Amino acid sequence: MTDTQLVTIDDIEAAAEVLDSVAVRTPLLPADTVSERVGAPVYLKPEMLQRSGAFKFRGAYNFLARMDPELRRRGVIAPSSGNHAQAVALAAKLFGVPATVVMPTTVTAAKRGGAERLGARVVLAGKTTADRMAKAEELVESEGFTLVPPYDHPVIIAGQGTVGLEIAEDLEEVDAVLVPVGGGGFSAGVATAVKARCPRARVIGVEPTNAPKLSRAREAGHPVKLDHTAGLADGLLAVEVGALPFAHHQRFVDEVVTVDDDALVRAMRILLDRMKIVVEPSGAITVAALLEGKFKPRGPTVAVLSGGNIEWDGLRELLAG
């Protein structure tokens, strides 16, 4: 893939204009507890404060805003483990169009309930990304919906990249940015924006130990489909990184590290106990990487908290021990 096909900083700036006054511009929060433990200033980008509870709203709204109005009126559909579904449901509600979301049979009550409260029709299909995509494509064919891709699309990547744009604007001296890796659209967009605005900054992708799709792809030089993924970070369990995101990763992501489930729970507890921040497991993965020494910062570092779609019962179950 040539550079001309990659999402550019101009695309991300255009997405920022679309999202202006619609999306929340999340702040950078000093993380003193984490800073003291790692020996460098750490800031948190709390995307759990974003509308729908995660960064996904940025890409979903950007996509719907750029749709042909007639197609949009027919309705949209989104395959998702949870956060993309809620983001598309909210974007569709704001545009006054119907939304259907295809979620796994193992979806958490918080994420299913969130999509339903936002007015989406929920369809359950299997446990894997492939299961959800197959069902969504079936409904596109039978009901005339437009599919809103979760990550492998330039408009989605541009919308998610506005997180990186905000980081670069708010912390010009940033030395490193840690970002979670699921299907790769978020990390691709953030990396693109950060490198365009702060070229000396390092971008670190963080993925679950039991879902190392970007690590394997970088070893192979192309996306690799994993046989199986598992773990607490349900938003990061894609079996394969997207083709377009991978092209961005190869150009803009400096390093990829992995974190296990026990580390996620420890990070969630510290964020709750010391900073009064509630995140879902996927959202805690960047802080976990810092606390576990998977990446050693040497200057001002930003850990992106990707989402907080977890409710009391799920939080209590995870943190009870």
CATH number of the domain encompassing residue 308 = 3.40.50.1100
Would the pLDDT of 36 be above 90? yes
Q: How many CB atoms lie within 10 A of CB 210?
A: 17
Question: Would you call 306 a catalytic residue per the annotation?
Answer: yes
Cα–Cα distance between 151 and 243 in angstroms, integer?
A: 10
- Shared domain for 129 and 204, answered yes or no, is no
- Shared domain for 275 and 300, answered yes or no, is yes
- Shared domain for 63 and 207, answered yes or no, is no
- Shared domain for 139 and 95, answered yes or no, is yes
Residue 1: per-residue pLDDT? 37
Read off the pLDDT band of 49 (50, 70, 90).
very high
Cα(first)–Cα(last) distance of the chain, in Å? 47
Would the pLDDT of 297 be above 50? yes
- Shared domain for 21 and 130, answered yes or no, is no
- Domain end position, chosen among 147, 174, 201: 147
The total number of structural domains that make up the chain:
2
- Give bridge partners of residue 178 from the DSSP assignment: 204, 303
- Shared domain for 123 and 60, answered yes or no, is yes
Q: Which of 56, 111, 195, 294 is catalytic?
A: 56
- Shared domain for 86 and 192, answered yes or no, is no
Strand, coil or helix: what is 317?
helix
- Domain end position, chosen among 147, 171, 188: 147
CA distances 123 to 73, 79, 80, 85, 309, Å, are 20, 9, 10, 11, 19
CB 86 within 8 A of CB 78: no
- Shared domain for 251 and 300, answered yes or no, is yes
- Give bridge partners of residue 266 from the DSSP assignment: none
Residue 259: per-residue pLDDT? 98
Cα–Cα distance between 178 and 302 in angstroms, integer?
A: 6
* Mean pLDDT along residues 226-238: 91
Q: Which of 52, 81, 282, 306 is catalytic?
A: 306
pLDDT by residue (tens digit) across 143-175? 999 999 999 999 999 999 999 999 999 999 999
What pTM does this model have? 0.94
- Shared domain for 87 and 221, answered yes or no, is no
pLDDT by residue (tens digit) across 72-104? 999 999 998 888 999 999 999 999 999 999 999
Q: Domain range spanning residue 29?
A: 3-53+154-319
* Mean pLDDT along residues 243-260: 97
pLDDT by residue (tens digit) across 174-213? 999 999 999 999 999 999 999 999 999 999 999 999 999 9
Residue 321: per-residue pLDDT? 63
Residue 179: per-residue pLDDT? 98
CB 88 within 8 A of CB 72: no
